[in-house]
Chains A and B, each alone.
Chain A
Amino acid sequence: KAGVTQTPRYLIKTRGQQVTLSCSPISGHRSVSWYQQTPGQGLQFLFEYFSETQRNKGNFPGRFSGRQFSNSRSEMNVSTLELGDSALYLCASMKNRPPDTQYFGPGTRLTVL
């Protein structure tokens, strides 16, 4: 079974721009979560989508948004990029709800200049 895929793998943007990252979950998984990983803050939860609805949200500003499509694929968007948004963005998929396991993709490395 194919794992979680994320595109693009690497991205370079400048301050003020916006960016859209994509995640395709494992087939049959309906939940997609997004995490941000930085050296200073570690791995932090952004939000989770289930059946096209945001089910859970972390403590990030409104510049960070996401959506999920009917095929469970998900996108996250960051508007008005700041230098501090440079991070590894990870997507994880899960079948339905805990204790189902979350499986992570390889991540998208975003660099903001």
Chain B
Amino acid sequence: DAKTTQPTSMDCAEGRAANLPCNHSTISGNEYVYWYRQIHSQGPQYIIHGLKNNETNEMASLIITEDRKSSTLILPHATLRDTAVYYCIVRVGKGLTNFGNEKLTFGTGTRLTIIP
């Protein structure tokens, strides 16, 4: 699975949009971009994923650049409950005949702090 690079930490004012960047310059054509977050000592929470098109759900939006080498997770109106570590992960999708790709490889993530 391709490696990702994220800033170690970010701050965002409450009520503003939080934009979390992720670089995945070695991503291959069949790899998806996933975002999870982890609030202190809880299990990681799935946020969103995408392949090449931008995606939006009730939690966030995912913007993937045209060359797919980077992406941005957008939390449109950040609240204090969005304070967490955010992980960007790339992971192969279907179409492969060999197993071994089911795991998620977590990096160190971005510690997002929402400021009141």
Residues of A within 8 A of B (CB): 4, 31, 33, 35, 42-45, 48, 50, 55-56, 58, 88, 90, 92, 94, 97-99, 101-107, 109
Flag if B43 contacts A106 (CB, 8 Å): yes
User: Is there contact, CB below 8 Å, between A56 and B46?
Assistant: no
Taking CB atoms, residues of chain A closer than 8 Å to B87 are: 43
> Chain A residues near B93 (CB, 8 Å)?
98-99
> Contact between B106 and A42 (Cβ–Cβ < 8 Å)?
yes
Number of A-B contacts (CB under 8 A): 70
Interface size of B by Cβ–Cβ distance < 8 Å?
26
Q: Is the CB of B91 within 8 A of A99?
A: yes
Residues of A close to B92: CB separation below 8 A: 98
**A98 near B42 (CB under 8 angstroms)?**
no
CB distance from B73 to the nearest CB of A (A): 15
Cβ B94 vs Cβ A99 within 8 A: yes
Which residues of the other chain, B, contact A88 by a CB distance below 8 angstroms? 41
- A33 pairs with B103, CB closer than 8 A: yes
Asked if B29 lies at the interface with its beta carbon under 8 angstroms from chain A, I say no
Contact A102 B94 (CB under 8 A): no
Q: Interface digits, B29-67 against A, CB 8 Å rule (1 contact, 0 not)?
A: 000101010000111111001010000000000000000
Q: Shortest Cβ distance from A98 into chain B, in angstroms?
A: 5
B26 at the interface (CB under 8 A from A): no
Measured in the bound complex, the distance between the Cα atoms of B49 and A42 in whole Å is 22
B45 CB contacts on chain A under 8 angstroms: 104
- Residues of B near A55 (CB, < 8 A) are 99, 102
Contacts of A33 in B (CB 8 A): 102-104
Instruction: State the CA gap A106–B43 with chains docked (Å).
Output: 4
Report if B116 contacts A (CB, 8 A): no
- Indicate if the CB atoms of B49 and A99 lie closer than 8 Å: yes
Instruction: Collect the chain A residues with CB atoms within 8 Å of residue B99's CB.
Output: 55-56, 97
Q: Are A90 and B43 in contact (CB under 8 A)?
A: yes
Q: Mark B4-42, 1 if CB is under 8 A from A, else 0.
A: 000000000000000000000000000010101000011
